[in-house]
Each structure stands twice: as C-alpha cells, then as structure tokens.
Amino acid sequence: MKLPKLGWVKFRASRSLNGETIRSATLSREGQHWFISLLVDDGKTTPTEHALPGTAVGVDRGVAVAVATSAGDLFDQAFITADEQRRSLRLQRKLSRASHGSANRTKVRQALSKIRARERRRRQDFCVKTARRLAHNNALVALEQLPVRDMTRRAQPVADPATPGQYLPNGGSAKSGLNRAILSKGWYCFEAALKSAARYSGTQVVKVPAAFTSQRCSACGHVDPKSRESQAVFRCTHCLRPAEHADVNAAKNILAAGLLAVSACGDDP
C-alpha cells in the first residue's frame, strides 16, 4: 500500500477486499505494532425490513454485567485474565520506580502496552459478536441514552470554605473506580458495534432516557429505590412479585420505553 510521505509499505491483510472501493486509510500504533484500518464502500444497502419483523429487545448496560437483555440473557466476559492483572500491577509499580528516559522504563511500558492491547482486542471482539447477535435476532433494539464521556469524568475538587487552600473529601477514589468499571465494559464500543451491525440487518436502534429504569418495576410501574435490594436483585416493594435480576428488570423498562417511542413516531419494529 502506498502511504503519503512513506511510499510503498508492505502489510499483512486480515481479509480480502473483494473489489470494494477504498475511501480512506487510518494508520495507528498499538505498542510496538502498527495497524492500518481501511474504510471501504461495500456497495451494500440497509434492508428496508428485518428478516424477523416484530421482534424487539431492550438492552441494559452495566458495570457488573456488560449487557443484559429484556429476554433474560446476560452477556459478560473478563477481558483480562487474573495472571495478566497481577502482572499489570507489578509492571505499574516497576514503571513508577523506573527513571524517566531509561531503557528499563521503555521496556516496562512496552510490556504494559502488550497487556492493554490484548484487553482492548478482547473487548472489541466481545462487543462486535454480542451486537451482531442482537441485531440478527431483533428488528428493534432499545438502549439507554448514556453520556459515557460525562459519566466518566473525574470528580471535581471541593474547596473547604473554612480553610482556604484546603479541600474536602470528594469521593474521588470511588469515582475513579466507577470510571474504570464503566470503561472496562465497553459501553460506547458496544453501541458503535450495534449501530454497525444494524446497517446490515435492518435493525432499528432506539435510545431512550435512562431515568428510573433501574428503580421502576417492569410489571406494575411502581418506582422505589428500595426495590433494588442489591446490585443484582430487584424485588418490587409494591406488587411483591418474585425477585428477578435487576439488570433484566431495567432492560424490560428500556424495551417498553423504546416501543412507546417507536409507536409515537408511527413506526413499527
């Protein structure tokens, strides 16, 4: 492939183009490896109707379970092994002790980048496969409207009014842990993969407000924070129906909101 300012560069193709027209190329680096991503025009159009008309599913994205559906399916995967996690922590400690500009620091950073690259690839693979499965089986997929960038911002410092120059506890440590958990589950990656898969299946992707979806009973509609007994258990305090997985209950509420939004627009899933 001929690249501007670099000339002809050999590369290993992961798949053939089959006559597709290349629109652009993006060169990126992961650790010591370089990758080229090609944007191509495959000539395919989005189907006007899904192969399974009338099918619909709600999807709840979480930090304990990556993807939960209104059908009761739970999709999750560990993207880094326990051994890799321990090795990553050791390498981070070594990196903090290494001198800036030293060969040892470069070596440690390269080892860390390899682990993180494997984690990213596993997450991408999980998101793509899960998104394709949901798009293939459903004419409509409803998602929460989640501003991931805003949700993962660091906690702002809280100045102590009684002591100028001093700051009060702001929960920054807990917020950092939540940010890492959100990013590790690949919420945005899954949404992007779902929209891409929907282009080929004709699936309609609908985003609905996230307010109270985790506190509302999907059976009677009662809203009560106490119904969320734990991270995983939802037991309505009003209708006293049998407990179910909290993320599945939220996914059912998301599906109901998605169907309502579609019917209000006069569309059919």
Provide the residue count of the chain: 269
Q: Is the pLDDT of residue 264 over 80?
A: no
Beta strands in 114-222 (DSSP E): 140-144, 158-159, 167-168, 204-208
- 97, 108 in Cβ contact below 8 A? no
- 16/184 Cα distance (integer angstroms): 31
Q: Which of 119, 144, 191, 244 is catalytic?
A: 144
Q: What are the phi and psi torsion angles at 204 (to 5°)?
A: -95, 120
Residue 118 CB burial class (10 angstroms; 0-12, 13-18, ≥19): middle
- 195/203 Cα distance (integer angstroms): 9
Active site (annotated) includes residue 247: yes
Q: What integer pLDDT is reported at residue 150 of this predicted model?
A: 85
- 67, 55 in Cβ contact below 8 A? no
Instruction: Report how far apart, in Å, the C-alpha atoms of 136 and of each of 68, 69, 115, 245 are.
Output: 17, 14, 32, 24
CA atoms within 13 A on the CB side of 188: 10
Q: Which of 208, 203, 225 is nearest to 216 (CA)?
A: 225
Q: Is the pLDDT of residue 239 over 80?
A: yes
Q: Is the pLDDT of residue 190 over 80?
A: yes
Q: Which of 119, 191, 244, 247 is catalytic?
A: 247
Of residues 33 and 258, the one with the higher pLDDT is 258
Q: Which of 150, 160, 183, 156 is nearest to 172 (CA)?
A: 156
- 7/45 Cα distance (integer angstroms): 34
Query: pLDDT (tens digit, 9 = 90+) per residue, 3-54?
Result: 888 899 898 888 888 878 888 889 988 877 888 998 888 888 899 999 999 9
- 105, 95 in Cβ contact below 8 A? yes
Q: What integer pLDDT is reported at residue 153 of this predicted model?
A: 85
Average per-residue pLDDT in the chain? Answer: 92
Say what percent of the chain tops pLDDT 70.
99
Q: Which of 202, 204, 205 is nearest to 191 (CA)?
A: 205
Q: Which of 181, 74, 191 is nearest to 128 (CA)?
A: 191
Query: pLDDT (tens digit, 9 = 90+) per residue, 217-237?
Result: 999 999 999 999 999 999 999
Q: Which of 60, 119, 191, 244 is catalytic?
A: 60
Active site (annotated) includes residue 144: yes
CA atoms within 13 A on the CB side of 14: 4
The domain limits of the chain are: 15-264
Residue written as token pair 């990196």: 95
253-261 mean pLDDT: 96
Query: pLDDT (tens digit, 9 = 90+) per residue, 114-159?
Result: 999 999 999 999 999 999 999 999 999 999 999 888 888 888 888 8
AA letter at 8 = W
Q: Which of 148, 134, 89 is nearest to 115 (CA)?
A: 89
Name the token pair of 56: 């619909």
